[in-house]
Structure 1
């Protein structure tokens, strides 16, 4: 799992991975403890499918900011469509370049300099959006769809002919401590989008249930 953001205007994918691992790009909080060092850098470059502390930290921070401001928080869980088929067709080197290009594209689409695109697993990305109403998050998702397609990354195993992404969007009015079910809601929305096809957006809005709970 890579837990840092990609900077904009990058063209060298290898050095992107190195700089990304070293945390020399967009400001991110530093990992703490003896595990952070060369081994952590190697893990970051290699990427493993595991939800790590960095993503949880980002979600908790965004949740707390939204709760303090009494505003909605949105979450985008984004995944490259037909990733395995792409890997089988083009090999590891091309796949690594594809993933880094998509991550760069998502990072460039984010509206604020302190917004962070985090990589989860091989082809999934997480974007926490504090103080982001659902309409704003939906508009951002559409921007990401178009930006990824505009890269024109060929994908011969996809009927779209190019690399696309699917997106799960979850929205909540944070109250109290961070609830891990929020991330699960975004991940489930992504699964629904993928079941319906490629390049799709599905939304899980947790606010009505919150209101019913408060009224009970």
Structure 2
């Protein structure tokens, strides 16, 4: 006869455990402030959590089952699908930044980890993506490494990127160029025209740099006062020198009056180049010193010139 005073709950069955786990899993999917999804090997969405409601064009009734190219603008779909394919083909987790539009039409950047899903035979049958919005963090980082006046990156960012760009140029077997730029007799210009006008000159220099160095991977910096720098890869020293000359000529052609800068009578630049061959083992400081010496030669050759 059972003991009616025993108030302990009956033991949980395996089915009870599964149901509890399933509730936890769905609660996580419904409430996690991240994007979690899976796709099959044809790019069709097979699962997506509730947070996808934040995306532009999301429709709960049709999202799951649709292809990534039906759901997103083509340039966005291509980046998403490319990363899925890498994870599936290479059978490994990858970490990439991806961009998608929110319902308010703003473009957001996500840090995404994508990894393959395997069946019982160890074959890849789908990929899973877990994405966290890093838009605000990237904006804060950009503010910390951006010169407020010109919009160029600052010296801190140059130091951050230098080693990375040196490795990239070595891998691609290209010549890495460090270009240093000074505004000729800038102190005299400020003394004559005032700092507000001097700020306009610095903005003009930044614009000339952007016009010449607009390729993916070209980096431009304001490293202090009237000192600027560029870091970029090229196929030859002559190609790099031609880009430097383009910056010099662009600013000179603007004919910004500067009577304290004879014989030109307008604002000009002095530029110094240093080159890093793919097999070079020079440190950042050594390369910077080479570019600084070239800049010194440009100034002593009469200014308004490019030296290497």
Q: Tell whether the structures are fold-level matches, with TM greater than 0.5.
A: yes
Matches within 5 A, 1:17-56: 40=144, 44-45=147-148, 52-56=155-159
Q: Distance in 2 between matches of 1:37 and 1:149?
A: 30
Aligned match of 1:21 = none
Aligned match of 1:211 = none
Change (3 A) 1:84 1:132: farther
Larger Rg over CA atoms: 2
Change (3 A) 1:140 1:84: same
Q: Which moved more, 1:171-180 or 1:140-149?
A: 171-180
Q: Distance in 2 between matches of 1:106 and 1:37?
A: 19
Matches within 5 A, 1:58-137: 58-137=161-240
Aligned match of 2:283 = 179
Aligned length: 167
Query: Where do 5+ consecutive residues of structure 2 fail to align?
Result: 1-134
Please identify which structure carries the higher strand content. 2
Report deviation, 1:151: 1.2
Report deviation, 1:76: 0.9
Report deviation, 1:178: 6.3
Aligned match of 1:163 = 267
Counterpart contact for 2:234–2:240, Cα < 8 Å: no
Q: Residue by residue, what CA displacement relative to the aligned partner does 1:161-187 show, whole Å, maximum 9, x if unpaired?
A: 111001101112133766121122111
Q: Distance in 1 between matches of 2:267 and 2:183?
A: 7
Q: Distance in 1 between matches of 2:208 and 2:261?
A: 20
Report deviation, 1:95: 0.3
Change (3 A) 1:44 1:142: closer
Give the ranges of 4+ consecutive aligned residues of structure 1 lying more than 6 Å apart after TM superposition: none
Report deviation, 1:130: 1.8
Query: Where do 5+ consecutive residues of structure 1 fail to align?
Result: 1-29, 204-216
Counterpart contact for 2:149–2:203, Cα < 8 Å: no
Report deviation, 1:71: 2.3
**Which has the bigger relative contact order, CA under 8 A and spacing at least 6?**
1
Aligned-pair Cα RMSD in Å: 2.7
Aligned match of 1:149 = 252
TM-score normalized with structure 1 length: 0.68
Residue aligned with 2:266, SS: coil
Change (3 A) 1:66 1:110: same
